[in-house]
Amino acid sequence: MQRNYKISHTFIASILIVSLFLQSCGGSSNLPLQGEEDPSATTTIEQEEGQGKRKRARIEGPEQEQRLIEQGQEISYFDIFSSEIRQEIFSYLKLEDILPARAVNKDWNELITGYRQAGIVGVENKPSHINDTRGWVIKKEINFRNSKLRILTPKTIPCFAFYHLMGKVVNLPRTFWPYLQEARVHTVYLSGNKIGDQGVEGFVKNLQGTQVHTVDLSVNEIGDQGVEGLAKHLQGTRVHTVNLSGNYIGDQGAEGFAKHLQGTRVHTVDLSENEIGAQGAVGLAKYLQGTNVHTVDLSANQIGAQGAESFARLLQGTRVHTVDLSRNEIGAQGAVGLAKYLQGTNVHTVDLSNNEIGDQGAEGFSKHLQGTRVHTVDLSYNEIGDQGAEALAKHLQGTRVHTVNLRSNNIGPDVQRLLVEQYPHIKWVF
């Protein structure tokens, strides 16, 4: 009987690394030894985790790295595989395997880090990217406001850590922005840094040629000029997700931002809490045709009933499938008007929570979902009672809706039970 076995690339790479190491030893007892660590000789990168816990990745300081590698210099050079093959092997290893592998000898250090010498610091010392190092990137967030990281400058940060290991960075100082091009950083959180209009434009100019795809610029005192300047410079970058919540963009900024999204990779936009009214919502939607935008968060603005209806009407022909209009004073009229224009759009997820829709709005909204692609609806915190809930459920029959959030309304336990029993194909959240 023939059996097929699947072995991961990581496992194979680990076996090859061990084989290389053992074959190179030649029975020598003079192997690199790691004695007790000197706390002053290491840089600790702390990664954000849930509930205040932190996971640490230790990067040896220059002196300790050099000492470890010098101890291993009697190990012979590896002639078993070419350097290209060894580089390929290294690319499959994980971070916890790569860190000690650097200390085998100078050849390994150079193949892994791109530096012949150990412990190089300073961002001006850019590495030669000879490996695919994406698998080594630390998965947790690196926060530069951490007490041990805030003292680092572009001249003192370990090069290998900055250019190879950091993926998600929080509060990255401006002095590091110009050096992102050679780094593996893909997500930058700059929320609450008072960047302002001028700062945000300077930041995005440094994203050309980088790996960055997600930026959080929320609560940064950015106005209409800043957000338009930001959008202009997104062309040619890899950025696909932009969080601009809690700024002062307003109607003019919302329209100006959308106007420059043509030709960019941006698909997810958060413009919540930005003092955007009906005019801004319409201006934004008007320019979404031809863009890659599929998710729009306009929650906690002042769009109103007329704005919601006009916004939905302009979604025809766009790629938008997820819309958050919660906390926008839409009311019953706005909910009904919005639903009328969802036919023919790609919208499948709608958040209308906290809009004072009531029974009348819930029923009217559901009546117009026939023939649409909508499958997920959030109507929580909307003063909907038993009557509205029953009418809503009745009109959802024959639609694609499979998930309805009715949490924090005025629906009694009897009606809740009735909806669950009579409409089991729908996931009800109470």
Residue 67 forms part of a structural domain? yes
Residue 93 forms part of a structural domain? yes
Residue where a domain stops, chosen among 96, 113, 130: 113
Cα gap 257→284, rounded to integer Å:
8
Residue 50 forms part of a structural domain? yes
Residue 235 forms part of a structural domain? no
Domain count for the chain: 2
Answer whether residue 32 shows pLDDT above 70.
no
Q: How confident is the model at residue 118 (pLDDT cuts 50, 70, 90)?
A: confident
Q: How confident is the model at residue 119 (pLDDT cuts 50, 70, 90)?
A: confident
CB burial of residue 101 (10 Å; 0-12, 13-18, 19+): middle
Taking the model in full, what pTM does it have? 0.81
- The CATH number assigned to the domain holding 366 equals 3.80.10.10
Answer whether residue 34 shows pLDDT above 50.
no
Quote the domain boundaries for residue 365.
303-430
Tens-digit pLDDT profile for residues 341-360? 999 999 999 999 999 999 99
Answer whether residue 261 shows pLDDT above 50.
yes
Answer whether residue 135 shows pLDDT above 90.
no
Q: What is the CA 135 to chain-centroid distance, rounded? A: 17
Q: How confident is the model at residue 55 (pLDDT cuts 50, 70, 90)?
A: very low
Query: For position 83, what pLDDT does the model report?
Result: 60
Tens-digit pLDDT profile for residues 376-425? 999 999 999 999 999 999 999 999 999 999 999 999 999 999 999 999 99
Query: For position 102, what pLDDT does the model report?
Result: 76
Residue 99 forms part of a structural domain? yes
Residue where a domain stops, chosen among 72, 87, 113: 113
Residue 193 forms part of a structural domain? no
Residue 396 forms part of a structural domain? yes
Cα gap 17→303, rounded to integer Å:
60
Residue where a domain stops, chosen among 113, 143, 175: 113
Residue 134 forms part of a structural domain? no
